[in-house]
Amino acid sequence: MRAIKLLPSNKSVDQKRHVQLGNHQFEINIDGCAKYTTDISITQLSGVIKGMTPLFLTVRLYHDANVAEIVHHDYHQRIKPSYGYPNPLMHQKDEKYQLNAFLYDWLVACVENGRAVLNWDVNNGLV
């Protein structure tokens, strides 16, 4: 439900919304829409810390279950449900859980403390 609050009012492909969280600006883009799911990407535009890769996540929203999960991160890497340990890339056993917990914290911060330009039609187009 928190992710849906951050989506653009027109929920169609390639619609974007910018969210300001502290000194960091993020762009939420709708990449795909289906009957039961919506795929979005979250990209960090500003406030990048020197030496760190800017945030990029691909998130799938499941409408029927009101659940969001990270599908990709870092532009290309698909996340497995769990990893054997040790593994060549040194992923944690519960990496998918940790990333989804991060997504939850990020969404809470954006909804409670973020700023976004909202396109509300206050008088339902009567003026």
pTM of the predicted structure, to 2 decimals: 0.76
Determine, yes or no, domain membership for 38: yes
- Give me the domain span that covers residue 40: 2-116
Determine, yes or no, domain membership for 104: yes
6 neighbors 17 (Cβ within 8 angstroms): yes
7-44 residue pLDDT tens: 877 788 889 988 888 888 999 999 999 999 999 999 99
Determine, yes or no, domain membership for 121: no
Determine, yes or no, domain membership for 36: yes
Concatenated DSSP letters for 5-51?
A: HHS-SS-STT-EEEEEETTEEEEEEEEEE-SSEEEEEEEEEE-PPTT
- Mean pLDDT along residues 86-105: 82
Determine, yes or no, domain membership for 57: yes
Q: How many domains does the chain have?
A: 1
Determine, yes or no, domain membership for 16: yes
29 neighbors 41 (Cβ within 8 angstroms): yes
Determine, yes or no, domain membership for 126: no
Determine, yes or no, domain membership for 101: yes
